[in-house]
Amino acid sequence: MSLVLCFFDSCQAHRLEKKLDPDSSEFISITKYIMTSEEYKQFINLPAYEERSKFIEDFWKRRDPTPETEENEFKNTYLARIDAAKRIFGKGPAGDLDDRGMIYVLFGPPSDVLRSRRFIRGGFRIQEIWIYSVIMEKYQNVQVYFVNRFGSDTVVDGFGSGNFELEMGAPVFSLIQEAKTYYLEPASKRKPFKYDIRLKEGDKKGDNVELLIRIEVPYENIWFSKVEDKMEATLSLNLKILDDAKNKIWEHEQDYPLSIVEKEVEEFLKVSKKYVIEIPTTLSKGKYSLHVNLSNKTGEEEEKKVMPIKI
Q: What is the mean pLDDT of the chain?
A: 83
Contact (CB, 8 A) for 66 and 43: no
- Residue 220: per-residue pLDDT: 81
Tell me the mean pLDDT in the region 179-185.
Answer: 69
If pLDDT is split at 50, 70 and 90, which confidence band does 302 have? confident
If pLDDT is split at 50, 70 and 90, which confidence band does 200 have? very high
- Tally Cβ neighbours within 10 Å of residue 276: 11
**3-class SS of residue 27:** helix
Handedness of CA 110, 115, 119, 122 (dihedral sign): positive
Angle subtended at Cα 149 by Cα 148 and Cα 155, rounded to the nearest 5 degrees: 30
- Residue 208: per-residue pLDDT: 93
Lowest mean pLDDT among 9-18, 261-270, 276-285: 9-18
Q: Does CATH place domain 196-310 in 3.40.50.300?
A: no
H helices present in the chain, as ranges: 10-18, 22-31, 37-45, 49-62, 73-89, 99-107, 170-179, 262-270
- Residue 121: per-residue pLDDT: 67
Lowest mean pLDDT among 11-20, 63-72, 156-165: 11-20
Q: Higher-confidence residue: 210 or 32?
A: 210
Tell me the mean pLDDT in the region 247-260.
Answer: 95
**Per DSSP, which regions of the chain are E strands?**
4-5, 112-120, 123-135, 139-148, 155-156, 159-160, 164-166, 196-205, 208-218, 225-227, 230-243, 248-261, 274-284, 287-296, 301-310
Q: Higher-confidence residue: 126 or 243?
A: 243
Kindly calculate the radius of gyration of the chain based on its CA atoms and give it in whole angstroms. Answer: 24
Would you say residue 176 has pLDDT above 90?
Answer: no
**3-class SS of residue 97:** strand
- Residue 306: is it exposed, middle or buried by C-beta count within 10 angstroms (0-12/13-18/19+)? buried
If pLDDT is split at 50, 70 and 90, which confidence band does 185 have? low
Tell me the mean pLDDT in the region 235-252.
Answer: 94
Tell me the mean pLDDT in the region 163-174.
Answer: 83
pTM over 0.75: no
d(CA 114, CA 160): 10
- Residue 187: per-residue pLDDT: 47
Nearest to 149 by CA among 170, 131, 122, 130: 122
- Residue 79: per-residue pLDDT: 93
Where along the chain do its domains lie? 8-73, 97-184, 196-310
- Residue 231: per-residue pLDDT: 84
If pLDDT is split at 50, 70 and 90, which confidence band does 4 have? very low
